Structure 1
Amino acid sequence: MQDSEAASKPRGIFDRSTKGHQMPTVSVEVERGQIRFFAKALGETDPIHFDIDAAQAAGFPDVVATPSFFMPIEAMADEERARLGQPSLIKLLRCDFGRLLHGDETYTYHGLVFAGDVVQFDTKITDFYEKKGGLMEFVTIESTVSHAKRGVLITATRTLLHRLG
């Protein structure tokens, strides 16, 4: 390989051949206990996150997940993929936890998630790029949580990065 070819070739850890890869859609059921546990861990006090009667009195069908419940849904989706024998996003990307950092994240909430919901989780690897002269590599991931009747509930764009230098 010529010196100019070596200089232009990314030297990162991420598997860049996964750009554009759409992970298989998985469905997960949101359980009341999961919502309560997560809301308690966050220090939430609103009874709509704990008490079905309070949630129904407020016009909801069941206890309401906090907006940040996206992360437990993603964890449940990863567990479901493992159960189905599918690789996790982290494994597919070849993340190195010794160098991996959390970058930017943006969430857009289109609807609420309730206990008893069966939601679909979709993830796509959308981009790779470098900064600091190749000392940092980034991957951008887009995910969607949707409900069969209520449509898209949450969209997320997140960035992970490896420190390479």
Structure 2
Amino acid sequence: MPVNTELVGREFAPTAPYLVGREKVREFARAVLATDPQHFDPAVARGLGYPDVVAPPTFAMVVQDLTLQQLLAEPDSGIELARVLHAEQRFRYSRPIVAGDELTATLSVSGVRVMGGNAMVTSDAEIRDAAGEHVVTATSVLLVGADA
């Protein structure tokens, strides 16, 4: 089944709130080799004006993944995980993610570009805090290979 081009414009329900934990930030920072003390030490983060440790910029992928799972589960998408490569990732931040944030994300599909039997699927996850304020938009481009 080819990728459904009618996905463009589709918006998914907001994810359940994700509470950003201090240890999750530290674990993620270690995993991506982010060594800045603001990712580990609350006192350093507070000294920089943040209420708690600051997540590395790519931490937004943890929340965005919840939205991408919605897209992959869509029965009419034509997207099979076995044929997917993560081709591109971008972030547009209003402010950093910090421990204690409660984040929700809403995914919308902004583009499907078909090239031969392959397709590039672009989606934007708008990530907001508990007050509804924008924190980051995470944009992914998935390359979906042709049917076997």
For this structure pair, what is the TM-score category when the shorter chain's length is used for normalisation? Answer: 0.7 to 0.9
SS in 2 for 1:17: helix
Instruction: Encode CA deviations 1:100-156: one digit per residue, 9 max, x unaligned.
Output: 12222222121111101111211001222212xx23212111111112447211112
Q: Do residues 91 (structure 1) and 91 (structure 2) align?
A: no
SS in 2 for 1:111: coil
CA contact (8 A) 2:39 2:55 kept: yes
CA contact (8 A) 2:61 2:138 kept: no
Q: Decide which of 87, 90, 101 is 2:85's aligned counterpart.
A: 101
Indicate the residue corresponding to 2:136 in structure 1: 154
Q: Do residues 13 (structure 1) and 9 (structure 2) align?
A: no
Q: Do residues 70 (structure 1) and 54 (structure 2) align?
A: no
Deviation at 1:94, TM superposition (A): 3.9
SS in 2 for 1:141: strand
| Residues 17-56 of structure 1 mapped to structure 2, 5 A cutoff | 17-26=6-15, 27-56=17-46
Letter in 2 for 1:16: T
Instruction: Encode CA deviations 1:9-59: one digit per residue, 9 max, x unaligned.
Output: xxx532333332111012211111110000011112211111112211222
Distance in 1, Cα, partners of 2:32 & 2:139? 22
Q: Which runs of 4+ in 1 moved over 6 A?
A: none
Q: Decide which of 27, 47, 51 is 1:57's aligned counterpart.
A: 47
SS in 1 for 2:58: helix
Structure 2 length normalisation: TM-score? 0.85
In structure 1, list runs of 5 or more residues that go unmatched.
1-11, 82-86
Deviation at 1:74, TM superposition (A): 2.1
Q: Which has the higher helix share?
A: 1
Q: Decide which of 126, 129, 135 is 1:144's aligned counterpart.
A: 126
Deviation at 1:60, TM superposition (A): 1.1
